[in-house]
Amino acid sequence: MNTGPRQLRCAVIGAGMAGILSAIKLAEAGFTDVTVYEKADRVGGTWRENTYPGLSCDVPSHLYSYSFALTPEWSRRFAPGPEIRAYFERIARENGVTQRVRFGDQVLGCVFSEGRWHLTTASGHRDQVDVVIAATGVLHHPNYPVIEGIDTFKGTMFHSSRWDDSVQIDGARIGIIGTGSTAVQMVSALANRVARLSLFQRTAQWIMPQENPAYSDEERTELREHPDLLSEGRQSLSDLFDLFSNAVVDSESAEIKMIERACLANLEDNVHDPDLRERLRPTYRAACKRLILSPDFYDAIQSPNADLVTDDIERIEPGGVRTTDGRLHELDVLVLATGFKADAFMRPMSLVGRNDFTLDEAWDPRPAAYLSISMPEFPNFFMVNGPNGPVGNFSLIEVAELQVRYILQLVERIRAGDCREVSATHEALAEFERAREQAAQHTVWVTGCRSWYLDDRGLPAVWPWSFVRFRQAMEVPDPAAFEFA
C-alpha cells in the first residue's frame, strides 16, 4: 500500500570519487537533506590519501571523469595524481558538495532500528537517517607486511599511501618493497633522483606499453571550442575498455592473446640484459594480475643506480634489508608498496541490520552483496563499488555512475511511499553469487597467479562478465530481487 510521498534524510559515507558523485546525484534528484561523512579533512578519497612520486591513474583522463563534468584541461592522457585530486575538489566545490560534508568525523557505527539508520561518529555525533549510501572505497586500508625486524629500521619507513613529503629523497638510498602499479610508478619517478634504488620483487609483473603524451595547447583549445569532442572521445575510450573487459573475462579470447603478445614484446624488446630480462619475466599469463601500464618502467629499472632484488627478504635490520643470499641492502628510506586490504570495504565500521544481524555475520566467510550494491537484512543501505563488483580493469567512475543511478531508482520508491524498506533478498544474492562463481572459472584471473582479486578460495572477487552486461544489469532494478516492506 502506498503511504504517500516522504521527505527522506540521507547519509553518504565517504567523500571520495563515489561519495562526491552520490551527493551530486541525490541533490539533482531533489533530495535536500543529505549529509556526507568524511574521516579526513578534505575530499578526494584515494587521490587525497596517495601523494607518492609518479602517482597517476591507469585509466585515461577523459574517461576517468564524471560524464556530466568533462574537462578539456587535462595535461596528459593519464593525468598525474595532484591534477586528479584538484579535479575532484573543484567538482565538489562547484556542486555544493563540500558544504554538506562533516570533515574529520569518521562513522564508527550504523544500527538499523525502528525503520531508520542510527549513525555514531568518532566525535560522538549521532544522526538518524532513512537511507545510507556507503561510498567508502575499495583500496584504502593499507596492508603492512609481516617481516622480521620491521620495527628496527633506523631510516625512514612508511606505506606508499602514507607518503612523507618531509623526507629527503634526492640523493638518498631508497628501497621499495612490492611490484604492483604503485611501485612501478615510483620506480619510474625516482630512478633519476636517488643515489640508489632497490626494488624488492617477490613476483614479476607484466607491463603493458603505454605512452603518456601531454596534450598540446592547440588540442586543449580545440576541446574547449568543441565540447562535443569531449563526449565523443570519452565514448571512444569507453568502447576500447569494453574490448579489454571482454579479454579478461574470457581466458581464451583473441583479445587476451593480443595483450599477451604486446606485453611479451615489451619485455623482449626493451630489457637488454638477458639475466635481468629473465628475472623480470612473469611465470603467469598477462592480465592474471591487474595489468600494469607504463611507458618507461623498463628504462628506469635498467638505470645504473637501480637494482632489482629477487632474493627473498630474510629480515629488516637497522641499516636496511637483509636478503636470503646474505646481502645487506643499505637504505635511508624504505617504502612499503604492499597494497591494501581489499576485503575491508566499510570495516572497521560496525554495521547492524534488521534483527541485530551484523555485517560480520553477513560477510562470513567472505564479503558479498547483490550486484555489489545491496545486502539482505540491511534495508535502505546501499554500497557504491561494493564487494564483487567491476573493479578489475574498468573505469570506476563509469561503474559508480551506473550504480548510483540504479540505487536512486530504489530510493525513489521509498520517497514515493511505495515502501519504507528495500533490500536484496537472500535468494537473489545466493543466485548472483552462484552465477558469479561459475563465470569466474573462465576468466584470466584464475589462470595461475596470486593477486588481490582472489578471495580465500582462490576465486576472483570481481565482476566476471563483460562491461556491456554490467550496463544492462544496472538499467532497471529487478523487483523480484528485492524485498519491499
- List the one residue out of 383, 399, 374, 379 whose CA is nearest residue 346: 383
* Ranges of H-type helices in 95-227: 181-190, 217-225
pLDDT in tens, 231-266: 999 999 888 888 888 888 999 999 999 999 999 999
Give the C-alpha separation, 239 to 252, whole Å: 20
As a CATH number, domain 10-141+341-484 is 3.50.50.60
φ, ψ of residue 428 in degrees (nearest 5): -65, -40
40, 103 contact by CB (below 8 A):
yes
Distance CA 81, CA 51 (A): 7
Q: Which three cell numbers stand for residue 70?
A: 568533462
Could you give the CA distance from residue 213 to residue 60 in angstroms, rounded to a whole number?
A: 11
3-state secondary structure (DSSP) of residue 48: helix
377 CB-near residues (< 8 Å, 6+ apart): 353, 354, 355, 357, 362, 423
Q: What is the pLDDT of residue 2?
A: 72
- 476 Cβ neighbours under 8 A, 6+ residues apart: 409
Q: Phi, psi (5° rounding) for residue 30?
A: 95, 10
Dist. CA 424–CA 457, nearest whole Å? 24
The grid coordinates listed for 328 are 645487506
Residues above pLDDT 90, as percent of the chain: 89
Under the banding of pLDDT at 50, 70 and 90, the label for residue 393 is low
Distance CA(121)–CA(143), nearest Å, equals 24
The residues of the chain that CATH labels 3.50.50.60 are 10-141+341-484, 142-202+314-334
Mean pLDDT computed over 445-457: 91
Spatial CA neighbour of 176 closest among 341, 322, 309:
309
Peptide bond into 227 cis (omega under 30): no
What string of DSSP letters covers 233-244? HHHHHHHHHHHH
pLDDT above 70: residue 323: yes
Average pLDDT over residues 17-22: 98
Q: Cell digits for 211?
A: 605512452
Do residues 239 and 323 lie in contact, with contact meaning Cβ atoms separated by under 8 Å? Answer: no
> Is 357 exposed, middle or buried, given 0-12, 13-18 or 19+ CB atoms closer than 10 A?
middle
Q: In 3D, which of 142, 189, 146, 153 has the Cα closest to residue 170?
A: 189
Residue 208 β-bridge partners: 293
> Across the beta sheet with 320-323, what order do the strands follow?
313-317, 320-323, 328-330
Whether 344 and 221 have beta carbons less than 8 Å apart is answered as: no
> What cell numbers appear for 60 in the block?
585515461
CATH 3.50.50.60 fits 142-202+314-334, yes or no: yes
Residue type, 76: R
For residue 145, cis peptide bond before it (omega within 30 degrees of 0): no
Rounded Cα–Cα distance for residues 103 and 88 (Å): 16
Q: What is the pLDDT of residue 182?
A: 96
Alpha helices in 100-226 (DSSP H): 181-190, 217-225
Residues 123-157 pLDDT 10s: 999 999 999 999 998 877 899 999 999 999 999 99
**pLDDT higher than 90, residue 229:** yes
- pLDDT tens sequence across 41-51: 999 999 999 99
Any bridge partners for residue 320, and if so which? Answer: 317, 330
Q: How many residues does the chain have?
A: 485
